[in-house]
């Protein structure tokens, strides 16, 4: 086929070819081509497909990023600041006295009363805190102990070397941290580091208690079982956000293996807790050079993703106590049904003193470390 060219070397179009080209150009560029009212099915399908691609390439990646958000737990240089151990262990603590806010059948005695009753005493290698394991008690509750550190803390790395934990029907022992100033709780938060009830054979429980605005339904790196995600204290029967360790992390099984080490790291990035059986304690803890970055996955992880750690936790005292009965340990659905304990909690605690021979803490040491820019 031959083609005719014009003066400038441009091929000539026939009238028919010109009209067809013009109509095509007119259809694609006219105002109606950009007005959805004039679109056909093909153009609508193409437009919707394009919008879908844009959404998929922008919105979906944003959701993935949000779901995978996780704070940076960069390595910190920790230095020892406090040691609680030896014969002077109790010199660093005040004694609480009276009853408990959790409605327990508990009579916390004074320092003088604890020493006279032999409920607290310390040797070079261990400090003992126990429930009175003799005598029937009256309406005041069974004598026991609550001690609170004179020193206060905001952030830090806390190592608890525990040789024996209290257990038995009616007991509610805990090692925890909070601001004990009147009318402050839970504004400055609470950190439950070692806590269990009754026989404690379901494992240690770690928890945070806060005011509103601290949630843990986010990406976490932990081996423990999540029990609740909302740290607001008034939810989940005042449970806070809680994680449970393995069954052998508390109770008789733990004591039979000479206890172990619990560790809690509190920093702006989050609060993490570990449990190590006696035969698995990291060497860097044993030599006094703790390095959380080498400990593996935490037992409980409370990241700062949806919880401003610095605004919810501050000015804490270290608290060690053994409560009896109360809102958790003594609740019938827990005391009778979950742990199969006899009669009613207060009745049992008051009338069966021999049941409390194993209701004592044996604390080998507590060491506290801090790091700059934590």
For the stretch 245-273, pLDDT in tens is 999 999 999 999 999 999 999 999 999 99
Mean of the pLDDT values across residues 63-69? Answer: 69
Tens digit of each residue's pLDDT (9 = 90 or more) over 19-35: 555 455 555 545 556 66
Q: State which of 67, 102, 128 marks the end of a domain.
A: 67
Specify if 223 maps to a domain. Answer: yes
Q: Does any domain span residue 2?
A: no
CATH of the domain at 301: 2.60.120.200
The pTM of the whole model exceeds 0.75: yes
Catalytic residue among 20, 23, 112, 190: 190
19 and 98 housed in the same domain: no
In a shared domain, residues 59 and 84: no
Same domain, 48 and 149: no
The pLDDT score that the predictor gives to residue 127 is 98
165 lies in the same domain as 303: yes
**SS3 sequence, the chain?**
CCCCECCCCCECCCHHHHHHHHHHHHHHHCHHHHCHHHCCHHHHHHHHHHHHHHHHHHHHHHHHHHHCCCCCCCCCCCEEEEEECCCCHHHHEEECCECCCCCECEEECCHHHHHHCCCEEECCCCEEEECCCCCCCCCCCEEECEEEEEEEECCEEEEEEEEECCCCCCEEEEEEEECCCCCCCCCCCEEEEEECCCCCCCCCEEEEEECCCCECCCCCCECCEECCCECECCCHHHCCEEEECCHHHCCHHHHHCCCEEEEEEEECCEEEEEEEEHHHCCHHHHCCCCCHHHCCCECEEEECCCCCHHHHCCCEEEEEEEEEEHHHHCCHHHHHHHCCCCCCHHHHHHHCHHHHCCCEEEEEEEEEEECCCC
Residues 62, 85: one domain? no
Does 190 qualify as catalytic in the annotation? yes
163 within a domain of the structure (yes/no): yes
Residue 153 falls within a domain, yes or no? yes
Annotated catalytic residue within 23, 115, 195, 252 = 195
Q: How confident is the model at residue 2 (pLDDT cuts 50, 70, 90)?
A: very low
Please count the structural domains in the chain. 2
For residue 293, being part of any structural domain is answered with yes
The pLDDT assigned to 7 comes to 47
Determine whether 195 is an active site residue: yes
For residue 30, what are the domain limits?
15-67
């Amino acid at each position: 086929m031959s083609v005719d060219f014009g003066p400038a070397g441009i091929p000539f179009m026939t009238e028919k070819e010109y009209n067809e080209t013009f109509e095509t150009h007119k259809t694609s560029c006219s105002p109606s081509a950009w007005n959805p009212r004039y679109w056909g099915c093909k153009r609508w399908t193409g437009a919707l497909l394009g919008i879908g691609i844009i959404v998929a390439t922008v919105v979906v990646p944003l959701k993935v990023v949000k779901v995978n958000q996780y704070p940076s737990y960069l390595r910190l240089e920790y230095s020892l600041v406090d040691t609680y151990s030896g014969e002077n262990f109790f010199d660093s603590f005040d004694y609480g006295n009276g009853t408990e806010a959790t409605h327990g059948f508990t009579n916390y005695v004074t320092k003088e009363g604890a020493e006279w009753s032999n409920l607290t005493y310390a040797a070079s290698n261990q400090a003992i805190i126990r429930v009175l394991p003799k005598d029937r008690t009256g309406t005041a509750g069974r004598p026991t102990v609550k001690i609170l550190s004179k020193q206060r803390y905001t952030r830090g790395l806390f190592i608890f070397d525990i040789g024996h934990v209290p257990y038995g029907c009616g007991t509610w022992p805990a090692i925890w941290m909070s601001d004990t100033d009147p009318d402050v709780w839970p504004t400055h938060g609470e950190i439950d580091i070692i806590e269990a009830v009754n026989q404690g054979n379901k494992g240690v429980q770690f928890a945070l208690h806060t005011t509103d605005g601290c949630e843990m339904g986010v990406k976490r790196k932990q081996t423990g079982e999540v029990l609740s995600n909302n740290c607001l204290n008034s939810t989940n029967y005042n449970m806070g956000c809680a994680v449970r360790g393995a069954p052998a992390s508390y109770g008789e099984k733990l004591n039979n293996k000479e206890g172990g080490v619990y560790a809690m790291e509190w920093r702006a990035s989050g609060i993490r807790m570990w449990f190590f059986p006696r035969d698995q304690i990291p060497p860097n803890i044993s030599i006094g050079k703790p390095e959380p970055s080498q400990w593996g996955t935490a037992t409980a992880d409370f990241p700062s993703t949806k919880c401003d750690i610095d605004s919810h936790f501050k000015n804490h005292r270290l608290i060690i106590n053994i409560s009896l009965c109360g809102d958790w340990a003594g609740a019938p659905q827990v005391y009778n049904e979950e742990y199969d304990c006899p009669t009613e909690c207060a009745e049992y605690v008051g009338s069966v003193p021999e049941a409390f021979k194993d209701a004592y803490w044996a604390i080998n040491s507590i060491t506290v470390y801090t790091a700059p820019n934590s």
